[in-house]
């Protein structure tokens, strides 16, 4: 799974250099000649300057185009590797037109140590940890009028921030959030999405040296919402991010969480939980880009599906570059199909360019809760309703318990109960 | 004392070629404290009888009755039958994703007893029962039957038998696929359950081997959906020597 795009890379190019060196919002310095690219650039940006992504093979994740410029991305046809599962017709035009509507309103609850600013898109922090990886993300980046910057102050402990985005309507909009976890801070950020919206959302997490950041992104939209979200983390030396995604609501939700490493000894944990009802399309595409030595990543996404045309997509790309010696990585996706008529796609991709690693593995299972399971549990005295709940709760609990925020865990347990109650009829 | 009574039971399954009768009039009465061995060649309907008692939806009872102390078992849902005191140790226990053994055992025990078991005693009982059956304690945190070997699944069935203390246990070829050591462990478990509580046992088996460890009071030979012969333990000995040939039509 290597290709020419990776072979042309200088092996030492992605570590031992300041994370943001040579990096501008225009992406001008991300040229193939510039070996000192930041973790954001990499081969993808090189490919970009080779000609807007044309001819870049999709066979390696390293070759994927990244750019801040919308025009660098070709119009989507739905046949692209990263869009082939997405029903573009249901994307609310987010891939075609600039979203000009009002972004969801933001309500915040901030503890000491957290500050929130509204800045222009020319602020230096915008683009410090993320770069669009697809046309829709770039479309939102271009269209966003302003960005919110949440900063967790250096060395601050027990910082908690809850950001609730409430969508007000079905006019397409874009929003941008940058979360900066300053060195050695300890913080928890809950990003809650409710209401109705057609939204392109770009979120960057700049997790600086020694910081530990937990993020919980909840997609609890109304049934009609359309949400294309890019959530990118840049994780500094000895820093850690625990990124948890919970997706229940919306008509179409497509999230692309990614993590890149900007130093050694960094740790990434990515958890996800999704529950698809009839007609819902819930898609999660992950990318963990190991480019520096001695970092670890662990990915676990679990999903339940029920009803006709409930569709979930999980794609997990893990790339261990040649420089990333001593990497320890694991990713797994597990789906539980509760009824007929649902579809779960699951594609784990692991690319390894060095043999000198501590470990790398992946797993994917899609199981069905069927009549034989039900018969087995019932034959032990457990009634049908309890049996179904037992299975789903047990299945999803593994991820819910990772959240570590009691009131949120309770809320999610209640949501699971409500989802299950919907099929009791 | 309780009685499980099966009278003139006819059972069919739906196949692509239409309905097919498997049980063609089976009558059998088991009292608590008794052990009945049901023996017979493959395809004679032994497992169909077991699954029908438990209420598997695949099997249609076309006529006849099953009663437990006079109550109509066939009118009960699968879970109600279990709560009434019937237990089926399955031939092929399924893996249930997402449910840990610990959670499953406690939920089932609570359902059967009608109230949650005292946590302290329960944990101790589970541990002891697992040790008796030589089940790795680590299995408690694994999902029900997930990744268990065939022999491990059978032992976990007997673990449930010991913990749930049913009035009647139907063991559907629990001995198949077990080596002699595992067979002994499983048989000891069944004997403990039978001694510990007043339990009636219906032991379905193809082979006489398990009858060295679990002594039947009665032996019934199943052939083509009917009981072809009944007797005491000595009938099993005779089957051991002669096989089932004499029950089968010539040239079969």
Measure CB to CB from residue A379 to each of B82, B97, B107 and give the nearest one. B82
Q: Which residue in chain A has the smallest CA separation from B161?
A: A380
Q: Which residue in chain B has the smallest CA separation from A365?
A: B97
Instruction: Give SS3 for B164.
Output: helix
Which CATH class for the B3-241 domain?
Answer: alpha beta
Measure CB to CB from residue A376 to each of B57, B93, B143 and give the nearest one. B93
Q: Which residues contact A97 (CB under 8 A, 6 or more apart)?
A: A172
Q: Residues B168, B35: contact at Cβ < 8 Å?
A: no
CA distance A398 to chain B (A): 9
* Distance of alpha carbon B21 from alpha carbon B172, whole angstroms: 20
* Residue B112 in this model has a pLDDT that exceeds 90: yes
CA distance B114 to chain A (A): 10
Measure CB to CB from residue B98 to each of A375, A380, A395 and give the nearest one. A395
Structure tokens belonging to residue B20: 């097919």
How would DSSP label each residue in A287-351?
EEEE-SSS-EEEEEEEEEE-STT-EEEEEEEEEE-TT-TT-EEEEEEEEEE-STT-EEEEEEEEE
Best residue in A364, A379, A395 for a mutation probing chain B (most B CBs within 10 Å): A379
- pLDDT, one tens digit per residue, over B155-174 is 999 999 999 999 999 999 99
Q: Where are the domains of chain B?
A: 3-241
With beta carbons under 8 A apart, name residues in chain B contacting A367. 97
Best residue in A371, A376, A381, A397 for a mutation probing chain B (most B CBs within 10 Å): A381
Structure tokens belonging to residue B176: 């198949």
Best residue in B47, B53, B73, B79 for a mutation probing chain A (most A CBs within 10 Å): B79
Measure CB to CB from residue A380 to each of B56, B100, B108 and give the nearest one. B108
Subunit contact A372:B97, Cβ cutoff 8 A: no
* Distance of alpha carbon A47 from alpha carbon A63, whole angstroms: 7
Q: Where are the domains of chain A?
A: 4-424
Q: Which residue in chain A has the smallest CA separation from B50?
A: A379
- The number of residues making up chain A comes to 425
* Distance of alpha carbon A138 from alpha carbon A176, whole angstroms: 11
Q: Which residues contact A251 (CB under 8 A, 6 or more apart)?
A: A90, A223, A224, A225, A226, A279, A280, A281
Measure CB to CB from residue A383 to each of B54, B79, B96 and give the nearest one. B79
* Distance of alpha carbon A321 from alpha carbon A189, whole angstroms: 30
Q: Is A386 on the interface with B (CB under 8 A)?
A: yes
Position A13 scores a pLDDT of: 32
A111 CB-contact burial (10 Å; exposed 0-12 / middle 13-18 / buried 19+): middle
* Angle, in degrees to the nearest 10, between helices A371-378 and A384-400: 110
* Distance of alpha carbon B14 from alpha carbon B167, whole angstroms: 31
Find the chain B residues whose C-beta atoms sit closer than 8 A to any C-beta of A.
Answer: 54-57, 77-79, 81-83, 87-88, 90, 93-94, 96-100, 103-104, 107-108, 111-112, 143-144, 160, 164
CA distance B140 to chain A (A): 14
CA distance A335 to chain B (A): 10
Q: How confident is the model at residue B246 (pLDDT cuts 50, 70, 90)?
A: confident
Find, among A134, A104, A2, A132, the residue nearest to A62 by Cα: A2
Q: Is A4 on the interface with B (CB under 8 A)?
A: no
Find, among A62, A18, A58, the residue nearest to A353 by Cα: A62
Structure tokens belonging to residue A379: 């034959």
The continuous run of DSSP H or E covering B200 comes out as strand B200-205
Q: Is A363 on the interface with B (CB under 8 A)?
A: no
Find, among B73, B92, B46, the residue nearest to B226 by Cα: B46
What is the full per-residue pLDDT of chain A (425 aa) written as tens digits?
333 333 323 333 333 333 344 333 333 333 333 344 455 654 444 443 333 333 344 568 888 899 999 999 999 999 999 999 999 999 999 999 999 999 999 999 999 999 999 999 999 999 999 999 999 999 999 999 999 999 999 999 999 999 999 998 999 999 999 999 999 999 999 999 999 999 999 999 999 999 999 999 999 999 999 999 999 999 999 999 999 999 999 999 999 999 999 999 999 999 999 999 999 999 999 999 999 999 999 999 999 999 999 999 999 999 999 999 999 999 999 999 988 899 999 999 999 999 999 999 999 999 887 788 899 999 999 999 898 888 888 888 888 888 888 888 888 888 888 888 876 54
* Distance of alpha carbon A47 from alpha carbon B136, whole angstroms: 54
Find, among A90, A63, A351, the residue nearest to A228 by Cα: A90
Q: Residues B154, B127: contact at Cβ < 8 Å?
A: no
Percent of chain B with pLDDT over 70: 99
Subunit contact A336:B94, Cβ cutoff 8 A: no
Q: Is A407 on the interface with B (CB under 8 A)?
A: no
Give the angle A263-A265-A268 at the CA atoms, nearest 5°: 90
Q: Residues A225, A254: contact at Cβ < 8 Å?
A: no
Measure CB to CB from residue B57 to each of A371, A395, A396 and give the nearest one. A371
* Distance of alpha carbon A151 from alpha carbon A174, whole angstroms: 21
* Distance of alpha carbon A313 from alpha carbon A39, whole angstroms: 27
Subunit contact B144:A376, Cβ cutoff 8 A: yes
Q: Is A376 on the interface with B (CB under 8 A)?
A: yes
Subunit contact B103:A367, Cβ cutoff 8 A: no
ipTM above 0.90, yes or no: yes
CA distance B79 to chain A (A): 4
With beta carbons under 8 A apart, name residues in chain B contacting A391. 96-99
With beta carbons under 8 A apart, name residues in chain A contacting B162. none
CA of B160: how far to CAs of A162, A377, B89, B120, B190, in Å? 46, 12, 8, 18, 11
Instruction: Give SS3 for A125.
Output: coil
Position A39 scores a pLDDT of: 55
Subunit contact B164:A376, Cβ cutoff 8 A: no
Position A175 scores a pLDDT of: 97
Beta-strand pair A343-352/A359-368: unpaired
* Distance of alpha carbon A370 from alpha carbon A175, whole angstroms: 42
Find, among A131, A133, A143, the residue nearest to A25 by Cα: A131
Phi-psi region of A16 (alpha: psi -120 to 50; beta: other; left: phi over 0): left
Best residue in B80, B97, B164 for a mutation probing chain A (most A CBs within 10 Å): B97
**Dihedral angle sign, alpha carbons of residues B106, B109, B114, B120:** negative
Q: Residues A250, A277: contact at Cβ < 8 Å?
A: no
Find, among B247, B237, B228, the residue nearest to B28 by Cα: B228
Measure CB to CB from residue B103 to each of A334, A383, A394 and give the nearest one. A394
The continuous run of DSSP H or E covering A59 comes out as none
Subunit contact B96:A382, Cβ cutoff 8 A: no
The continuous run of DSSP H or E covering B83 comes out as helix B78-84
Beta-strand pair B218-223/A311-320: unpaired
């Amino acid at each position: 799974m290597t290709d020419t795009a990776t072979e042309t890379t200088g092996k030492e190019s992605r570590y031992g250099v300041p994370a943001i060196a040579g990096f501008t919002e225009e992406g001008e310095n991300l040229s193939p000649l510039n070996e000192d690219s930041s973790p954001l650039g990499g081969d993808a940006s090189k490919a970009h300057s080779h000609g807007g992504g044309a001819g870049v093979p999709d066979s390696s994740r390293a070759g994927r185009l990244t750019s801040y410029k919308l025009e660098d991305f070709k119009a989507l046809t739905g046949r692209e590797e990263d869009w082939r599962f997405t029903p573009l017709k249901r994307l609310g035009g987010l891939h075609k037109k600039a979203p000009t509507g009002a972004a969801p309103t933001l309500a915040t609850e901030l503890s000491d140590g957290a500050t929130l600013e509204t800045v222009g898109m020319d602020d230096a922090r915008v683009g410090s940890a993320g770069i669009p990886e697809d046309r829709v993300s770039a479309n939102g980046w271009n269209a966003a009028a302003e960005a919110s910057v949440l900063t967790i102050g250096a060395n601050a402990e027990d910082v908690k921030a809850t950001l609730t985005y409430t969508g007000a309507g079905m006019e397409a909009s874009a929003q941008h959030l940058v979360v900066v976890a300053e060195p050695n801070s300890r913080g928890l950020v809950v990003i809650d999405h409710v209401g109705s919206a057609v939204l392109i959302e770009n979120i960057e997490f700049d997790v600086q040296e020694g910081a530990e950041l937990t993020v919980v992104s909840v997609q609890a939209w109304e049934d009609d919402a359309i949400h294309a979200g890019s959530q990118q983390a840049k994780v500094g030396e000895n820093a850690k991010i625990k990124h948890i995604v919970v997706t229940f609501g919306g008509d179409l939700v497509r999230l692309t969480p990614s993590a890149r490493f900007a130093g050694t000894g960094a740790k990434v944990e990515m958890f996800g939980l999704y529950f698809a009802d009839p007609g819902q399309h819930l898609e999660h595409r992950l990318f963990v880009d190991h480019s520096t030595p001695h970092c670890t990543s662990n990915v676990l996404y679990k999903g339940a599906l029920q009803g006709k045309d409930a569709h979930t997509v999980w794609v997990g790309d893990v790339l261990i570059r040649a420089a990333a010696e001593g990497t320890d990585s694991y990713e797994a996706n597990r789906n539980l199909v509760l009824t007929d008529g649902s579809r779960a796609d699951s594609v784990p991709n692991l690319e390894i360019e060095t043999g000198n690693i501590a470990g790398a593995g992946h797993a994917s299972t899609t199981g069905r809760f069927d009549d034989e399971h039900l018969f087995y549990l019932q034959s032990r005295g457990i009634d049908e309703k309890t049996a179904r709940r037992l299975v789903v709760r047990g299945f999803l609990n593994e991820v819910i318990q990772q959240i570590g925020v009691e009131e949120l865990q309770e809320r999610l347990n209640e949501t699971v109960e409500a989802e299950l109650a919907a099929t009791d009829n | 004392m309780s009685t499980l009574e099966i009278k003139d039971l006819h059972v069919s399954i739906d196949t692509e070629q239409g309905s097919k009768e498997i049980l063609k009039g089976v009558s059998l009465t088991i009292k608590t404290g008794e052990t009945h061995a049901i023996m017979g060649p493959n395809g004679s309907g032994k497992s169909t009888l077991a699954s029908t008692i438990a209420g598997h939806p695949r099997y249609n009872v076309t006529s006849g009755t099953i009663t437990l102390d006079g109550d109509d078992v066939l009118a009960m849902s699968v879970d109600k039958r279990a709560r009434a005191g019937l237990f089926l140790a399955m031939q092929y226990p399924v893996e249930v994703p997402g449910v840990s053994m610990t959670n499953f055992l406690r939920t089932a025990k609570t359902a059967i007893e009608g109230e949650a078991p005292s946590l302290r005693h329960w944990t101790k009982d589970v541990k002891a029962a697992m040790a008796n059956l030589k089940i790795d304690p680590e299995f408690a945190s694994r999902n029900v039957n997930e990744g268990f070997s065939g022999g491990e699944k059978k032992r976990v069935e007997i673990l449930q038998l010991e913990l749930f203390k049913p009035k009647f246990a139907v063991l559907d070829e629990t001995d198949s696929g077990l080596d002699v050591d595992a067979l002994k462990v499983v048989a000891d478990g069944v004997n403990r359950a039978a001694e510990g509580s007043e339990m009636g046992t219906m032991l379905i088996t193809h082979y006489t081997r398990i009858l060295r460890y679990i002594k039947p009071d009665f032996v019934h030979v199943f052939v083509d959906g009917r009981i072809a012969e009944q007797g005491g333990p000595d009938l099993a000995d005779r089957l051991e020597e002669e096989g089932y040939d004499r029950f089968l039509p010539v040239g079969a």
